[in-house]
Structure 1
Amino acid sequence: MNLKTIFFTIAFLASFHIFSQNTYVFLGSYNRDKEAESIQVYQLDSEGRLTKVASTTNVINPSYLTISPNGKYIYACTDTKTPNAGSISSFEFNPKNKTLTFLNKQTSGGENPVYISVHKNGKWLVNANYTDGSVAVHPLLENGIIDSMAQNIHYSDRSIHKERQTRSHVHSAVFSPEFDVLFLPDLGADKIRSYAFDENQKKPLTETQIPFTKTDLEAGPRHFTFHPNQKFGYCIEEMSGSISVYTYKNGILQQIQRINTHADEIKEGFESSDIHISPDGKFLYASNRGKENNIAVFSISENGFLKNIGYQSTFGDHPRIFAIDESGKFLVATNVISGNVIVFKRNPITGLLQKTGTEVKMENVSCVQIKKYY
């Protein structure tokens, strides 16, 4: 074996060691029990195996999680689906000591918070409240503490579905690629709302000339993601079981395609949920709950259009949220009703998924985030 071969072999093995030591999976749940381990943390190794390293109790329904840009802090939607309540909570994660420590919580500004995002500067947190249709903005202190609410905007409009769209239901809060615009898919109003976001102002949200993008009626826009090239946006629509594709420029969305997330033989009962794009920008993944319980896989063309190339069962019931690690090697799916977490290996050439054999149980598991620490 020559020196060049030895060098690359050592580098290859070292990369696997680094992956296994520094990639962590964070799980949230509808635990409904303060004694339960409501947030759990696992190490993800190079073969897709999960090893539990930390957890926290004394928190009700941390249904959605997000991670600060520097990885030090975990923010959660808490008191979700709790009548007349709703909060957001912060935790400090120490990968060296493998500890997760509660810091503080604040009101979410509305009932049933379901989504939370952090600005790239780590100084602002935004959350969406589903039940009463609102958005809240909180400053973040340098120690990860959530400060008092800076803005809270409620909506009262609706759409045409007589049961599910009697009022606004904001389902996510997603920053634009440059973090200067905030998008709010509103399932109840069939709109993707938008605001300019000025990180230097005490109240960073301001209205724009185009305050929303109207979706198809009874679409139920839910989650939204941008392509890595920043030219396209993709919105998954829960009620119609569709994905709408948009061009994106200067804060403006223009629809160019609408495609089903579900198989053609499924005619009703759609519950499309989450949406993510592989780091290389070649494939899009979308979760279907209810009748299908799968991940739909799409290829992405250079013009942003999607083409369905397959479906992968999540081996459980009700895959609400999934995540792709930053290397693009693994996809981790959470099944709420069956309470199991499945790790898939992603083929970078075909985009298709294969179960690794790793599965962990967590009652009412509802969310997953993945972070690599350097």
Structure 2
Amino acid sequence: MKPILFLIISIISLSKIHAQHTYTFFGSFNRDKDTEGLYVYELDTLSGKLSKVTSFTGMLNPSFLTVSPNGKYVFACTESKTKNGGSVSSFAFDPEKKSLTLISKQKSGGENPVYLTVHPNGKWLVNGNYTEGSVSVYPVSENGQIQPYVQNFQFAEGSEDPNRQERAHIHSTVFSPDFNYIFLPDLGADKIRTYRFETEKDQPLQPAAIPFTATVPGSGPRHLTFHPNGKFAYCIEEMGGAVSVYSYDNGKLNSLQRIHTHSEKYKENFEGSDVHVSPDGRFLYASNRGNENNIAIFSIRDDGTLKTVGYRSTKGQHPRVFNLDPDGKFLIATNAGTGTVVVFRRNPETGLLKKAGRKIKIKSVSCVEIRRY
């Protein structure tokens, strides 16, 4: 074989061995454990096309999920919205075999688990339960096995809306940029609760000097995210139709701004759901359900405050969780009401979104996580 031809073949072979793949993991409210509930697709990072890789059948309502820091395990809120149910489960994902296998399952400590986050050391999992308003903390073994929870804090007080805020409703569990604190937006109490997180202790959740940040009464804080620079935090309200902007320092949130996520033509029926900052830190995206079914787009100023750029329909109803790929090229939205997933290409200069590829159908799809391998 000629040396040049051999070199070309070797380069091609090496590129195949070391090729990167971007996988998208979808959760859903399947309502029947004998049907598919968790799905894995591969994202074509040139075209935005999604291609099915595998799925898992045998778990009820795996509605929210997250991926371990090493990418080997998928953790899911399972049996969500299930009477006398509520659990968290772990699955092994093998990108070579393209398989998803159940590893373990534990009680969630509440009837309706809605959000999971994993510590970057991979040893701790924190779950938020909506209905009873509680948070549970689990040790995780090296093989992805979830151990029984070692802490389960129940909260009680509600706020001003008797129909929606009769008691506490924890809707997310989010680590601070340095992972020394964890924040718990409480939709029912109009508070963002705060705890120190001490990884070396048997019970890592410890009282913080500032135990909570009060939000606007009746706003219903839902999801929280931090700017890549670690200096700012953004909380979307489910009930108030706004994003609250905070500066962040050592466990303390200081209010900077509160800006509507809806356009002027929408005067009521606000229902915010999710919020993310682009990897480049230049734009913030917030999803609206209710009458709107869109993504609100904001530019981020140097001081962390937001300026409205525009809105993009999610091409479906009741967008729940959306996410951006690691490069910030694509935004993927899940429309639970219509059971559709839509991929948008993101303009890095303007922040605007343009539909890419074809919709895919996943019944009652509720969550998406994106990971490069």
Task: Give the root-mean-square deviation of aligned CA atoms.
Answer: 1.5
- Tell me the CA shift for residue 15 of structure 1: 9.3
Which residue number in structure 2 is paired with residue 27 of structure 1? 26
- Tell me the CA shift for residue 357 of structure 1: 2.8
* Per-residue deviation, residues 204-263 of structure 1 (Å, max 9, x unmatched): 001112100000000100000000000000000010010000000011000010000111
Which residue number in structure 2 is paired with residue 360 of structure 1? 360
Q: How does 1:56-135 map to 2 (within 5 A)?
A: 56-135=56-135
Superposition TM-score, scaled by structure 2 size: 0.95
Which residue number in structure 2 is paired with residue 288 of structure 1? 288
**AA matched with 2:47:** E
Q: State the distance in 1 between where 2:368 and 2:140 align.
A: 22
Which residue number in structure 2 is paired with residue 217 of structure 1? 217
Q: How does 1:140-151 map to 2 (within 5 A)?
A: 140-151=140-151
Q: State the distance in 1 between where 2:357 and 2:311 align.
A: 18
Q: State the distance in 2 between where 1:65 and 1:38 align.
A: 11
Q: State the distance in 2 between where 1:205 and 1:278 align.
A: 29
Which residue number in structure 2 is paired with residue 41 of structure 1? 40
Q: State the distance in 2 between where 1:372 and 1:144 align.
A: 19
Which residue number in structure 2 is paired with residue 4 of structure 1? none
Which residue number in structure 2 is paired with residue 203 of structure 1? 203
* Per-residue deviation, residues 155-188 of structure 1 (Å, max 9, x unmatched): 0111000100000000000000011100000000
**AA matched with 1:32:** R
- Tell me the CA shift for residue 83 of structure 1: 1.1
Q: State the distance in 2 between where 1:106 and 1:125 align.
A: 12
* Conserved? CA contact 2:271–2:288, under 8 Å: yes
Which residue number in structure 1 is paired with residue 299 of structure 2? 299
Q: State the distance in 1 between where 2:145 and 2:160 align.
A: 40
* Conserved? CA contact 2:332–2:341, under 8 Å: yes
Q: State the distance in 1 between where 2:194 and 2:358 align.
A: 39
**AA matched with 2:299:** S
Q: State the distance in 2 between where 1:244 and 1:289 align.
A: 18
Q: State the distance in 2 between where 1:355 and 1:240 align.
A: 28
Specify every segment of 5 or more residues in structure 1 that has no aligned partner in the other structure, as ranges.
1-10
Alignment size in residue pairs: 360
- Tell me the CA shift for residue 16 of structure 1: 12
Q: How does 1:182-331 map to 2 (within 5 A)?
A: 182-331=182-331
* Per-residue deviation, residues 278-306 of structure 1 (Å, max 9, x unmatched): 00000000000120000000000000000
Q: State the distance in 2 between where 1:133 and 1:17 align.
A: 47
**AA matched with 2:230:** Q
* Conserved? CA contact 2:322–2:334, under 8 Å: yes
Query: Aligned to 1:291, what secondary structure does the other structure show?
Result: coil
Aligned-pair identity (%) = 59
- Tell me the CA shift for residue 84 of structure 1: 1.8
Query: Aligned to 2:126, what secondary structure does the other structure show?
Result: strand
Query: Aligned to 1:66, what secondary structure does the other structure show?
Result: strand
Q: State the distance in 2 between where 1:284 and 1:141 align.
A: 35
Query: Aligned to 1:160, what secondary structure does the other structure show?
Result: coil
- Tell me the CA shift for residue 358 of structure 1: 2.2
* Per-residue deviation, residues 70-117 of structure 1 (Å, max 9, x unmatched): 000000000000012100000000001110001010001111000000
Q: State the distance in 2 between where 1:112 and 1:99 align.
A: 27
* Conserved? CA contact 2:47–2:357, under 8 Å: no
**AA matched with 1:111:** E
